[in-house]
Amino acid sequence: MKKILLVTILVTSSLFAQTSDIETLAVEKCGSCHLIGAITKDKLNNMSAPPSWALSKKVKAAYPNKTDAIEFIVEYTMSPSEDKMLFSHKTKERFGIMPSQKEMISEDELRAVAEYIIDN
CA–CA gap between residue 47 and residue 28 (Å, rounded): 15
Stretch 65-88: mean pLDDT: 97
**Residue 24, CA atoms < 13 Å, CB-side half-sphere:** 6
Mean of the per-residue pLDDT values of the chain = 86
DSSP state of 49: S
Q: Regarding predicted confidence, which is higher, 81 or 14?
A: 81
pLDDT greater than 70 at residue 13: no
**DSSP labels, 72-114:** HHHHHHHS--GGG--S-HHHHHHH-PPPP-TTTS-HHHHHHHH
pLDDT, position 39: 86
Entry pTM: 0.80
DSSP secondary structure letters along 53-83:
HHHHHHHHHH--SHHHHHHHHHHHHHS--GG
Q: Contact 92/106 with Cβ under 8 angstroms? A: no
Give the C-alpha separation, 59 to 86, whole Å: 7
